[in-house]
Structure 1
Amino acid sequence: MSFTTSLWEEITPIYKKILDLPFNKELTEGTLPEDTFAFYMKQDALYLADFSKALAIAGAKSQSADELKDFLDFATGAVVVERALHESFLQKFDTHIDVDKSPTCFAYTHFLLSTASLEDYPVAVAALLPCFWIYREVGLHIHQKSAKNNPYREWIITYAGEDFSESVDRAIEITELAAQKSSDAVRGRMRSAFADSTRMEWMFWDSAYRVGQWPV
């Protein structure tokens, strides 16, 4: 079994809980309230700004010119493609980013930025991988089960699409190569980072559904 396959097996229970979240069930059915999805898109846009920075920071630590280019391409794609997706929905809903980061968004982005900045390269790439991999699997799952004329079809198609899948495959490959070159101790930290990001993916969707706010 490859290292990345073992990572996925370890987080499969969390992934199944992500699929069972009310947000994703109602997104699949096309019944998710517009206000809830709009709040999610605003938080995702705020998340994306820091995620792209974390990608660039991690890429700068690579000893491979090809991997550096890959991470810069990931960061550029996140800004160009996903920002366009956010803007199209916000325009459709006649709204704009008028909120601060939710507690969950704040925690997740700071985890990624600190891990990318302070940890070894293999740990950084493992922390960043769930945002790629889980979104593809969720997108494919929802695409297969989505209601006809789903109002969120554009979102679904983006993450179930071939272009995004190719990026995910490359991110998995980079993580696998990093693990092969790492000690057991570093691979242990990679496992922890991957699991922590996966938990935060669950928290992000849950927080979006609840319209999570700071308590004071």
Structure 2
Amino acid sequence: MLLHEQLLEIADPVLRRVVDHPFWSGLRDGTLPPESLVYFLQQDTGHLLPAYGRALARCAAQAPDDAHAAFFARGALGTLEARDRLREASAGTAAALGIDWPAEQTPAGPATHAHCAFFTAAAATSPAAGMGAVLPMAWFNLNVSDNLAEHCTPGSRYEPWIRIYRPAEGYRHVVRKFLATADEIGGRCSESERRLLVETFTTGIRYEWAFAEASWLRRTWPI
């Protein structure tokens, strides 16, 4: 079994729980409270995506392979550019969706803060740890956005936003490259580093569920 096949086998039950989560199912059928989508977008574009982009940049800086360094560097730039497009497009469609778009950026919530810290720490640890940390977001983003588009209730209030959120078709190639890079890094590193890659990947997929849960509940610091 290739490493990426092992990783996706680990991710599959969590992916099913994520797409069935009330946050994502509420987006599909239009029942999600608008405040939850605002929370998600503020946390995602204001904190999580910038932290993810910087984690990719750290992966690029640590990569011993020039091709991997170039791939991660392009990913870092692409993430920040995608963040800007999503923020601008979401703010532009807020009124049509009945959403009150905040005038200021909201602070990072507890789950977001932990997720961002995880990206930073893993990417600074080793190429294998960084790979394990950044792969889940790419994989889940592709699959969750596909599920939204394919199972969205026709005419639901969030259908226009779902079209905005879904990445361009070329993103599939990027995700395939992520999987191939995981195989290459895992094939060259020590057994202990390979285990670390699997461990950080497993932690990362749990954060994908935690982010949906926090967005659904709009969790903020209690004090």
Does 1:143 pair with 2:149? yes
Alignment counterpart, residue 206 of structure 1, candidates 213, 217, 223: 213
Could you say which residue in structure 2 is the equivalent of 1:14?
Answer: 14
Q: CA deviation at 1:82?
A: 2.7
Q: Give the equivalent residue in structure 2 for 1:195.
A: 202
Residue equivalent to 1:43: 43
Return the offset for 1:154.
4.1
Structure 1 residue 95 corresponds to structure 2 residue 102? yes
Q: How does 1:7-156 map to 2 (within 5 A)?
A: 7-45=7-45, 46-93=47-94, 94-117=101-124, 119-150=125-156, 151-156=158-163
**Paired residue secondary structure (1:162):** coil
84-93 vs 74-83, greater mean Cα deviation: 84-93
Report the 3-state secondary structure (helix = DSSP H, G, I; strand = E; otherwise coil) of the residue aligned with 2:54: helix
Question: Can you list the C-alpha shifts for 1:17-38, whole angstroms capped at 9, x where unaligned?
Answer: 1112100101111332222111
Residues of 1 paired with 2:104 and 2:8: CA distance?
A: 33
Q: Sort the Cα spacing of 1:87 and 1:157 in 2 relative to 1 into closer, same or farther, 3 A.
A: closer
TM-score (norm 1): 0.93
TM-score, scaled to structure 2? 0.90
| 5+ long unaligned stretches in structure 1 | none
Pick closer, same or farther for the CA change 1:32–1:5 going to 2, 3 Å. Answer: same
Q: RMSD of the TM alignment (CA)?
A: 1.6
**What is the CA distance between 1:98 and its match in structure 2?**
2.9
Whether contact under 8 Å (2:132, 2:200) holds in the other structure is yes
Paired amino acid for 1:66: A
Report the AA paired with residue 17 of structure 2. K
3-state SS of paired residue (1:99): coil
For residue 95 of structure 1, report the CA deviation from its aligned partner.
Answer: 3.0
Instruction: For 1:42, give the aligned amino acid.
Output: Q
C-alpha distance in structure 1 between counterparts of 2:52 and 2:66, whole Å: 21
CA distance in 1, matches of 2:70, 2:25: 36
**How far does residue 5 in structure 1 lie from its aligned partner after superposition?**
0.8
Identity of aligned residues (%): 21
CA shift for structure 1 position 149: 3.5
Whole-angstrom CA distance in 2 between matches of 1:15 and 1:129: 13
- 2: distance between equivalents of 1:149 and 1:71? 38
Distance in 1 separating the partners of 2:196 and 2:159: 36
Please identify, of 151-160 and 100-109, the stretch whose mean Cα deviation from structure 2 is larger.
151-160
Give unpaired runs (5+ residues) of structure 2: 95-100
